[in-house]
Structure 1
Amino acid sequence: MDIRELRNCLGRFATGVTVVTCNDGGHCHGLTANSFTSVSLDPPLVLVSIDRETKAFDKLKDNRFIVNILSADQQETAMHFAGKTCEELPFEWNETEYGHRIKGSLAYVECEPWAEYDGGDHVLFLGKVVNFDYQDGEPLGFYSGKFSKIVQE
């Protein structure tokens, strides 16, 4: 199977863009992820799929985490956490008892660790939602390997 072509095929599924953050040893870590989904409302569970090769991967194990759902004007923030770091941060932090949230995100979901599952070259982290909030705005989309707009009709 041609892995690149499989990736191109799966890229035809449009998603939103998130930054998953967690604290470890007094430091905040984060990564950009578009593999995020709601799993259950009772109990309230969400899932993020994280590549084992990312720098922040080990920090998530058995740790609280926050899913920051990005708005259309936060593309630079997404790139920062995807490894294209900026000298001057393109965002501001809001610190909470669960970690650091990205100010201005469309939504955030604060989670306690619930379960982890092997997903091949990824690990599926389930988090129990303990706090959340959201606001109106335009979401940052991702389609076919590029940022895109999500049009609401």
Structure 2
Amino acid sequence: MDEAALDVRELRNCFGRFATGVTVVTCAHEQGKHGFTANSFTSVSLDPPLVLVSVDRRTRALPFLKDNHFTINMLKEEQRSVAMHFAGKPETNPPFEWEGTRVKNSLAYIECEPWAEYDGGDHVLIVGKVKKFDYHDGVPLGFYSGNFSKVEPL
């Protein structure tokens, strides 16, 4: 298919066929703690330890994240309300507790310092150097074809 003829909605539907986990990326700033839900996260390197998050340029938390330490919180299946809270549908009483810049009781977290930033079209690609991490057993919250999904071992 010719690039000029690409249907953006259909391309998004195609990208959505790749199942992912759900993360909340958080950071602290002089104006408070901020975060956003992201499913575009990947490990990049073990030496040095690097991760990448792709952030929509319209994300309200992006200005707070630039050149700042951040935490990637991998969510558990039962943390769907946390994902929605950080996706722009906040609840009056937040469905989570903070532990520093971490979302308490997440499946895993990765604390990062800024490493590099790249133009990604309508997104900004932020690479962080891993400074601290921890993980727990549990079932991850999945995302597939525009909806939350269940991740089960075969």
| Aligned equivalent of 2:17 | 12
TM-score (norm 2): 0.96
SS in 2 for 1:58: helix
CA apart distance, 1:132? 0.1
Distance in 1 of aligned mates of 2:31 and 2:122: 28
Number of equivalences? 149
Which of 77, 101, 104 is matched with 1:72 structurally?
Answer: 77
Could you list the structure 1 runs, at least 4 aligned residues long, displaced by more than 4 angstroms after superposition.
none
**Which secondary structure state, in structure 1, belongs to the residue aligned with residue 14 of structure 2?**
helix
Q: Give the greater-gyration-radius structure (CA).
A: 2
1:28 matched to 2:29? The reply is no
> Counterparts in 2 of 1:110-125, with a 5 A limit?
110-125=111-126
In 2, Cα distance between the equivalents of 1:139 and 1:77? 13
Q: CA RMSD in A?
A: 0.6
Relative to the length of structure 1, the TM-score reads 0.96
Question: Secondary structure of 2:112's match?
Answer: strand
**1:139 is aligned to 2:140:** yes
Q: Which amino acid aligns with 1:53?
A: R
Task: Give me the identity figure in percent.
Answer: 68
* CA-CA distance at 1:41 after TM superposition: 0.2
Uncovered stretches (5+) of structure 1, i.e. residues with no partner? none
Unaligned runs of 5+ in 2: 1-5
